[in-house]
Amino acid sequence: MPRDLHELSRLEDSLSYLYVDRAIVERDENSIVIIRENERIPVPVSALTVLMLGPGTNLTHAAMKVLADSGCLVIWCGEGALRFYGYGMGETRSAEHLLRQAQCCMDEEKHLEVVRRMFEMRFPGIDLSGKTLNQMRGMEGIRMRETYKILAKKHHLVWKGRSYKMDEWDASDDLNKALSSANACLYGLCNAAIISLGYSPGLGFIHTGKMMSFVYDIADLYKTETTIPVAFEIATQSRTDPIDRAARIRLRPVLKERRILKRIASDLAFLFDAMEGEDPNRIDAGELWDGEGQVIEGGMNHAEDL
């Protein structure tokens, strides 16, 4: 994440975000200013889509108001944006991505197509058009099993399988603790990206029934290149930090090097046939449902339609 606050990083080419930690965020006329130590850094919120607030951040009520007026989404997250705690909506936001996701989720044929695309991303170059859902799940199971097997051999570890209990943290071995901690960070990053792009974390396709189902779907696309190899690496190293903290610290540069945040945006566009240049924060009049499977123009008086 950027340390120079004068430079706005990009979530994707048309969508800017800024991560801030250990600072005070105040209103400055119709914009905001970041106050850190002896510097005051003005931020043009009109050009900002997402503001991520990390540890040690204080946000004034006046600053939150101008952010909302500007349509900037505010996300409260962990250090380096690796945890997702909550978010505050900005002004009117387009529901185009959410509606497209909901339509695909509720239509069985479209639902299966999104799932197929998710598996295609795991198996590039392989034609899955004739595969059933069970066959694709079986292929994924084999892929994951081989991933664990290869990494265990590489790091001279005995892999006993994924085993953890949320209420019995100390009962897990070091490798499973590292996996759980790294995965939690990846979930937080995916959740933040999904929310900021206007999708719902609860409308899942492979996973279902939980408010984080879609987060799990998206995170699973990147685990074999991020959290899993990091966990095996950390489990074999001597360290002074607790293993969960060591895993989080090691994961941060990996996520940055792999450009995961940017890839989530383009991968979501691929899954739902969305255009990467679409702005989920676009403010317009909206549309009205006409009851016949179509929409009509909003923001106008329809009395003459009678």
- pLDDT tens-digit map of 196-225: 888 999 999 999 999 999 999 999 999 999
Taking only the tens place, the pLDDT of each residue in 21-41 is 999 999 998 899 999 988 999
| Residue 111, domain member (yes or no) | yes
In the prediction, which pLDDT does 77 show?
86
Are 61 and 186 found together in one domain?
A: no
pLDDT at 122 over 90: yes
| Residue 176, domain member (yes or no) | yes
Are 81 and 142 found together in one domain?
A: no
Domain termination site, one of 88, 110, 145: 88
| Residue owning tokens 């185009």 | 96
In the prediction, which pLDDT does 284 show?
52
| Residue 281, domain member (yes or no) | no
Taking only the tens place, the pLDDT of each residue in 133-142 is 999 999 999 9
pLDDT at 13 over 80: no
Domain termination site, one of 88, 105, 132: 88
In the prediction, which pLDDT does 128 show?
92
Are 80 and 136 found together in one domain?
A: no
In the prediction, which pLDDT does 294 show?
65
Taking only the tens place, the pLDDT of each residue in 137-168 is 999 999 999 999 999 999 999 888 887 776 77
| Residue 138, domain member (yes or no) | yes
Contact 116, 205 (CB under 8 A): no
| Residue 118, domain member (yes or no) | yes
Are 17 and 126 found together in one domain?
A: no
Taking only the tens place, the pLDDT of each residue in 49-78 is 788 899 999 999 999 988 888 878 888 988
pLDDT at 249 over 50: yes
More confident residue, 88 or 236: 236
| Residue 283, domain member (yes or no) | no
**228 is in which domain, residue-wise?**
96-271
Are 73 and 125 found together in one domain?
A: no
Tell me the CB-side half-sphere exposure of residue 91, using CA atoms within 13 A: 16
- The number of distinct structural domains making up the chain is 2
| Residue 279, domain member (yes or no) | no
Are 186 and 230 found together in one domain?
A: yes
Rounded Cα gap, residues 144 and 122, in angstroms: 10
Taking only the tens place, the pLDDT of each residue in 78-104 is 887 777 888 876 544 578 899 999 999
Are 179 and 102 found together in one domain?
A: yes
Domain termination site, one of 88, 108, 126: 88
What CATH code is carried by the domain that includes residue 188? 1.20.120.920
| pTM of the model as a whole | 0.75
Contact 280, 98 (CB under 8 A): no
Are 114 and 248 found together in one domain?
A: yes
Are 165 and 218 found together in one domain?
A: yes
Are 180 and 223 found together in one domain?
A: yes
What CATH code is carried by the domain that includes residue 70? 3.100.10.20
In the prediction, which pLDDT does 84 show?
81
Are 123 and 227 found together in one domain?
A: yes
Highest mean pLDDT (candidates 12-21, 155-164, 178-187) = 178-187
Mean per-residue pLDDT of the chain: 83
Are 161 and 226 found together in one domain?
A: yes
| Residue 246, domain member (yes or no) | yes
pLDDT band at 300 (very low <50, low <70, confident <90, very high): low
